[in-house]
Structures are given as structure tokens and as C-alpha cells.
């Protein structure tokens, strides 16, 4: 591994800059992320200009906005002019006014136009992920002309591995030529001779980032063109930007599934109060919903007093419902995300989860009955003279609760998608809470049915 070891002590920024200047940009980023923004800015100023720009261009640089605000105003313009428009847009989102307007005024006209257009797109859209540095040629050019053009613009384009051919009259996107086919083509031929037969796949700038990720992943693309309503190419999503977005989305999904708001920054960089806020919201919401269990228990107080033995199994039974629900939710979140299942297939899933839940509940029910019987017979505990009925109650309740858990857990992602939410906002604690109240009602209803006239 060629990665950089963390600095042990505080050293003069210019010394750090000299030591870092030969490292890869992502490694410099990691080193800068360990420093305060003012130190990071000082180090950046000590790096060779091209390297510093490359570092600022990395989305992994945590406090790029703070760093840029600390750079001397006379050098900022030259740094910004080297950065890609999509990265500048992202950084600008985090800079407060009037700093942002001041920096915007320092951009050259072309970049400023691109940044203004990119800023208009919502954070979850393709538009906010795309870059405007791509290669286009008119469909009238030859392979040799195209290659010559690619050589000229190479340095200023985010990728040259896909070359976009435009209709010479309407300037609409007509083909996407992979560079590998271009360099194997006959130089004299028209560029269209090496283009694939099909029109290129493209997305709208208002499509979701997940849609772009799905297309890039499914069709193994290095760059996905983004076109406006009349078919003009307005940007591309490159595979490396998409991977960064995928990793970020995965982190958000795991955090949401864990029952909290997604964190905007790494664990150790989050302030204590932000951390509390991101976790307390859902925790309180779940707590308030879970209070219904106390109300349900109060409703069954009479039964509880008559049959204390029933309370012994409450945690066991409720957790089983939550666990089976959590399994089903995790399955459906991914199946929906990967388009393996569509919204209209919900009834197929319901028809599958119901028998699955019955079988899983029966397995747990049998284990519970066995456990009660063994404890009773071996004398570990005395469940009273009606212990076979208690065992039957616990076993039957488990079948009902696990079945309900599997069913409710599998339907929740569909319900979220139906009302316009990402199914991945469903969380394990939410499913557990959903199942808990119903679980109690099922348990006591089964108990009333089986134990009436004996214990109850």
C-alpha cells in the first residue's frame, strides 16, 4: 500500500506541502482532511498549482468550501479556473452569501454560466452530478479529424473515452463513440462509421441519481450522456462520480435502515449536537409510537394480573415479530432498488411472505413449546397447572406475530414507494415498532381464546 501515514505532530505547513507534493491527489486529500481548514489552505498554497487544483477537485475533500474561503482573493480565481464546473457547483452550495457571489464574480464567463445552470438542479438529481466537460464533434467529421480534436482538448475534459457525435444541423446528440472503437477505425472514414448502430442511452437532468447509477451499472458505461427536452447534450455523468455517489447513497441507506437520519459527514467529524439531532428525531418518533404498547398493556391489565406467567414471554414474542419484519423489509428494499420487483408486484410478494411467515412462525412456536415443556418437566420453573395451555398460547401467538411481521415488513417498502418516498427510508426499528403494538394485541387475543375459563 502506498498510502500516507498520518502526521504525528504539528509541522510547518510549507514542510508538509513539500512532503505531500509528489503524492497522489486522493492521498493528499486524506492528509488535509486531518488538518484544520486554515492549515489545509496553507498547505495547498505550498503545493504546485496543478496539484493543488487537482486536490480541490476531489469530492472527498471535506472542508473545501472553508479552505477556498481562506485562500487569498488574488489567487482564488486561478484555482477556480482549473476546477471542473460540477465540483465548483458542489463547493458553492456550502458557501454562505456574500462569499458565494464574490467568488462567482471571479469565474470566467463560460464557467460561471455552467455553474449557474448546474446550481439549478436539486441535490438528488442527475443534473447535480453531471459534469459539463465532455468531447463533442459534428457528425460530418472523419475519424482522423475527431482523433486530432480529442488530442487537443484532452487536458480540459473529464473523460475522452466516450466521444459524443452531434447532428451538424440541430446539434442534437446522435451517437456516442467509445474511444476504443475510434482508434481502431480507418482514419479516412466518417466518424459515424465507427459508431454503434443504436442511439446512445441518455437521461434527463431531472432524473434521480439512482436511475443514472442503475444505467451505468447495467450497461457498463464509462459516461452517461444527459440531454434536455430537445435532445441537446448538456452534460455527462462519469463512472467515477457515479461510484462516489453510490458509496454515499449506500452509507445513507445503512444509516436510515439503522433508524436515524443520514449523516452529512464522517462519524468523527460530526459535532456532538448534530449527532444528537440526527439520532434523537427518529428515536423520539419511535418512542412516541412505541408508547402505544404501554396503552395496549394497560388495556390488558386485568388479564396481566390474573396470569403473570403471560408477561414472561412478552419480550421474546415481540422481538420475534420485529426480527421477521426486519428480514422482510431488508429483502424488499433491495429488490425494489434493483428493479427486481415493481410496485405492481406487491401482491405476489404478499402471497409469498404469508406462507413464509407461517412456516417461520411455526418453527419458532415449536421451539417455544419445547422450551416450556422441558423447563416444566425438568422442574426449572413452574408455569402452573395449566402449562400446556400457556405453551399453546405462546406457540400460536408466535405463528400469528411472525406472519404479521413478515407481511408488514415486506409491504412497508412498497407503501413508501407508493407515496413517493425512497423504499430505503424504511428502517429496522420502524418495522419493529410497527409490529410491536399489533404483536401485543395478537398475543393477548390468542391468550383470551385459549385460556378463557382456566387462567383468564
> Between residue 385 and residue 424, which ones bind a second copy under the rule CB under 8 A?
402
For residues 41 and 33, what is the distance between their CA atoms, to the nearest angstrom? 11
Closest CB 100 distance from a second copy, rounded Å: 27
Partners of 175 in the beta sheet?
Answer: 165
CA triple 48-54-55, angle to 5 deg: 90
The binder of a second copy chosen from 115, 364, 392, 446 (CB under 8 A): 364
Q: What is the β-pairing status of strands 135-138 and 162-166?
A: parallel
Q: Counting contacts by CB under 8 A, is residue 114 touching a second copy?
A: no
Q: Which of 47, 44, 50 minimizes the C-alpha distance to 64? A: 44
Query: Which residues from 316-355 bind a second copy, rule CB under 8 A?
Result: 316, 318-320, 322-324, 326-335, 338, 340-341, 345, 348-349, 352, 355
Closest CB 113 distance from a second copy, rounded Å: 26
Q: In this complex, which beta carbon is closest to a second copy, that of residue 63 or of residue 329?
A: 329
For residues 306 and 99, what is the distance between their CA atoms, to the nearest angstrom? 70
CA triple 111-116-119, angle to 5 deg: 120
The binder of a second copy chosen from 75, 93, 151, 452 (CB under 8 A): 151
For residues 260 and 253, what is the distance between their CA atoms, to the nearest angstrom? 10
- Contact code string over 191-220 relative to a second copy, x by CB under 8 A: ------xxx-x--------------xxxxx
Q: In this complex, which beta carbon is closest to a second copy, that of residue 119 or of residue 289?
A: 289
Q: Counting contacts by CB under 8 A, is residue 268 touching a second copy?
A: yes
For residues 420 and 98, what is the distance between their CA atoms, to the nearest angstrom? 36
Q: Counting contacts by CB under 8 A, is residue 122 touching a second copy?
A: no
Residues contacting residue 357 through CB under 8 Å, at least 6 positions apart: 324, 402, 403, 404, 405, 406, 407
Closest CB 141 distance from a second copy, rounded Å: 16
Q: Which of 280, 273, 409, 237 minimizes the C-alpha distance to 335? A: 409
Alpha helices in 175-269 (DSSP H): 179-184, 209-219, 239-257
Name the burial class of residue 203, with classes exposed (0-12), middle (13-18) and buried (19+) by CB atoms within 10 angstroms of its CB: buried
The binder of a second copy chosen from 28, 115, 165, 432 (CB under 8 A): 432
Q: Counting contacts by CB under 8 A, is residue 78 touching a second copy?
A: no
Q: Counting contacts by CB under 8 A, is residue 8 touching a second copy?
A: no
Closest CB 435 distance from a second copy, rounded Å: 10
Q: Return the range that interacts with a second copy (CB under 8 A); candidates 120-128, 169-177, 385-393, 429-437.
A: 429-437
Q: Counting contacts by CB under 8 A, is residue 373 touching a second copy?
A: no
Partners of 164 in the beta sheet?
Answer: 136, 176
Closest CB 92 distance from a second copy, rounded Å: 22
Closest CB 306 distance from a second copy, rounded Å: 10
The binder of a second copy chosen from 111, 128, 174, 293 (CB under 8 A): 293
Amino acid at each position: 500500500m502506498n498510502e500516507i501515514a498520518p502526521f504525528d505532530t504539528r509541522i510547518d505547513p510549507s514542510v508538509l506541502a513539500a512532503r505531500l507534493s509528489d503524492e497522489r491527489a486522493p492521498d493528499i486529500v486524506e492528509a488535509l482532511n486531518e488538518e484544520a481548514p486554515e492549515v489545509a489552505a496553507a498547505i495547498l498554497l505550498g503545493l504546485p498549482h496543478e496539484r493543488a487544483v487537482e486536490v480541490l477537485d476531489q469530492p472527498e475533500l471535506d472542508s473545501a468550501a472553508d479552505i477556498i474561503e481562506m485562500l487569498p482573493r488574488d489567487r482564488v480565481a486561478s484555482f477556480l479556473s482549473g476546477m471542473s464546473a460540477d465540483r465548483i457547483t458542489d463547493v458553492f452550495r456550502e458557501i454562505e452569501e456574500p462569499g458565494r457571489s464574490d467568488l462567482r464574480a471571479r469565474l470566467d464567463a463560460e464557467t460561471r454560466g455552467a455553474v449557474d445552470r448546474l446550481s439549478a438542479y436539486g441535490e438528488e438529481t442527475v443534473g447535480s452530478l453531471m459534469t459539463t466537460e465532455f468531447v463533442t464533434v459534428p457528425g460530418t467529421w472523419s475519424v482522423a479529424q475527431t482523433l486530432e480534436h480529442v488530442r487537443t482538448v484532452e487536458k480540459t475534459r473529464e473523460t475522452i473515452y466516450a466521444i459524443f457525435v452531434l447532428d451538424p444541423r440541430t446539434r442534437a446528440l446522435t451517437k456516442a463513440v467509445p474511444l476504443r472503437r475510434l482508434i481502431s477505425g480507418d482514419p479516412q472514414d466518417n466518424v459515424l462509421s465507427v459508431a454503434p448502430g443504436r442511439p446512445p442511452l441518455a437521461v434527463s437532468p431531472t432524473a434521480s441519481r439512482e436511475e443514472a447509477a442503475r444505467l451505468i451499472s447495467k450497461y457498463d458505461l464509462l459516461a452517461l450522456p444527459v440531454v434536455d427536452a430537445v435532445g441537446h447534450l448538456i452534460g455527462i455523468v462519469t463512472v467515477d462520480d457515479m461510484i462516489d455517489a453510490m458509496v454515499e447513497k449506500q452509507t445513507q441507506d445503512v444509516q436510515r435502515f439503522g433508524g436515524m437520519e443520514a449523516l452529512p459527514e464522517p462519524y468523527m467529524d460530526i459535532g456532538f449536537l448534530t449527532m444528537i439531532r440526527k439520532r434523537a428525531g427518529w428515536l423520539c418518533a419511535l418512542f412516541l409510537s412505541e408508547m402505544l404498547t404501554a396503552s395496549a398493556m394497560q388495556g390488558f391489565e386485568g388479564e396481566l394480573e390474573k396470569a403473570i406467567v403471560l408477561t414472561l414471554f412478552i419480550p421474546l414474542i415481540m422481538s420475534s415479530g420485529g426480527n421477521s419484519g426486519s428480514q422482510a423489509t431488508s429483502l424488499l428494499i433491495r429488490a425494489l432498488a434493483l428493479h427486481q420487483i415493481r410496485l405492481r408486484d406487491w401482491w405476489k410478494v404478499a402471497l409469498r411472505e404469508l406462507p413464509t411467515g407461517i412456516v417461520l412462525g411455526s418453527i419458532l412456536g415449536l421451539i417455544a413449546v419445547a422450551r416450556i415443556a422441558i423447563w416444566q418437566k425438568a422442574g426449572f420453573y413452574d408455569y402452573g397447572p395449566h402449562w400446556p395451555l400457556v405453551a399453546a398460547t405462546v406457540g400460536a401467538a408466535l405463528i400469528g406475530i411472525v406472519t404479521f411481521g413478515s407481511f408488514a415488513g415486506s409491504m412497508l417498502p412498497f407503501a413508501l414507494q407508493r407515496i413517493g418516498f425512497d423504499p430505503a427510508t424504511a428502517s429496522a426499528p420502524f418495522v419493529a415498532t410497527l409490529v410491536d403494538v399489533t404483536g401485543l394485541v395478537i398475543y393477548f387475543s390468542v391468550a383470551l381464546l385459549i385460556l378463557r375459563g382456566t387462567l383468564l
